[in-house]
Amino acid sequence: MRDKLNWGYEIHDFSSIQNTLSKYFPIENPELYTKENIGDFEGIKEMEGILHYNYGTNKRYKEHWGKFKKFLKQELKKPIHESMIAWYPCYSGFIILKKKKFKNLIYTKELHFFISLLGPYYTIFGIDKSEVELEEVFLDLDGTDKIRNTTYPANQVLTVSPHQEYKEPFLLLQTKILEYFPSLKHVPYDINNKRAEGISLVYLDSEGKIKDSVFSALFRPDDSFNTATRGDKYFGFDEWLIIKKLDKDRIQEIHKDLLKNSLKNESKLTIHKVWKLKAANQLPLKISGFFGMDLFKVLDLNDNTVATIVYKEDEEPVKSNYSIVNEEIIIESFQDRLKLRIVEFDVSQLKLILHIDLKIDEEQTIKGDILELIFEVYK
């Protein structure tokens, strides 16, 4: 079963992540475990073996991760600050992009990376953080008042994609990680934020956003994740697309099926036909440069409840449930982020407006009509 956790993605395959969670955490039967007996779960024993292999001896650590750290330092021309925490299954670190001190306040921009030991996964995000140093009065052992400086740190915001001032260093770090570990795949923020009950049975100290999260499972519970975000939460999704290039016979077979469906309602005045994209005209709404999507070339609405969507001729069509509500075509695989408003149609042509409603971060949302799509009957 490709989507056993019911994340609902139709054209992306995150089953390898879900399988990793199932292997190392009791997400399939969390009711059987408590903090007293969680040590009996087989996945924990395997995880302990992986941790021991990677960090159990100084020689093995230097051979694997020490060389990687040296490689990054040479390529990025910056010191690499390791940030691993004992008994969590990842290698992690960060580089400091900027650091300023204003009297008792320190402001820092850091770029963090995490590489999982449980599977071929990594993730990157930037953190803007601050630290304020305050004088605190405390009672000394001799009964007198003493003054000491105490530091209070706070994370201000995560940048979860190559966004604005983080763009160049983010992409450079990503390139170098993949140069050293070419089999790794980037886990997008949106997937890191998914939850599966049972993860926190293993990590009892996780709370807030990270409790039972994919991020805490693949990498570690990290307080920085309990922070507002900016950038594209879906950055990296393209790596997880289900893409299978088709041979000529399969392409011809799909064409025959679409043509057969198209002929069923050829002379009827109905939207339930097979429509081929003829033109796409951009509307005035301005959107950030990092947003993009592949336009579908064919939209088969012959079935009243299941749409067949062709994005590229040499890729397998995608099927998704859909409905028509208030003159809008709502396709479930678009995750409520995209809707198609019906403008007009006749027996041979269909005009739609592509409407987007995409939350980028806590403060920024892209919402509005972005494209006029003109379709003709598939022939």
Report, as an integer, the average pLDDT of 231-255.
88
Q: How large is the angle between the packed helices 167-180 and 67-76, nearest 10 degrees?
A: 140
* Predicted local confidence at residue 121, as pLDDT: 96
Residues 181-205: pLDDT tens digits? 988 999 999 999 999 999 988 887 6
* Predicted local confidence at residue 112, as pLDDT: 97
Q: Which residue has the higher pLDDT, 83 or 238?
A: 83
Is residue 97 a contact partner of residue 59, using CB atoms and an 8 Å limit? no
Does 120 have pLDDT greater than 60?
yes
How far CA 350 is from CA of 99, 307, 332, in Å, comes to: 56, 15, 20
For strands 274-282 and 298-300, give the pairing.
antiparallel
* Predicted local confidence at residue 286, as pLDDT: 55
Q: Which residue has the higher pLDDT, 8 or 218?
A: 218
Residues 323-355: pLDDT tens digits? 999 999 988 777 566 789 999 999 999 999 998
What does the block give as tokens for 134?
């305050």
In 3-state terms the chain splits into helix, strand, coil percentages (rounded to 5) of 30, 35, 35
The pTM is what?
Answer: 0.65
* Predicted local confidence at residue 111, as pLDDT: 97
Least confident of 57-61, 80-84, 173-177, 248-252: 57-61
Residues 294-324: pLDDT tens digits? 678 999 999 998 899 998 888 888 888 889 9
* Predicted local confidence at residue 204, as pLDDT: 74
Residues 248-267: pLDDT tens digits? 899 999 999 999 999 998 88
* Predicted local confidence at residue 235, as pLDDT: 94
* Predicted local confidence at residue 289, as pLDDT: 38
CATH architecture assigned to 248-377:
Beta Barrel (2.40)
Residues 349-372: pLDDT tens digits? 999 999 887 655 455 566 788 889
Distance (Å, whole) CA 266 – CA 269? 8
Which is nearest to 356 in space by CA: 298, 296, 286? Answer: 286
Does 291 have pLDDT greater than 80?
no
Residues 6-21: pLDDT tens digits? 888 878 999 999 999 9
How far CA 78 is from CA of 276, 303, 366, in Å, comes to: 52, 57, 36
Spatial neighbors of 58 by CB under 8 A, at least 6 apart, are: none
Three-state DSSP class for 63?
helix
Domain boundary assignment for the chain: 15-130+158-240, 248-377
Residues 147-161: pLDDT tens digits? 888 889 899 999 999
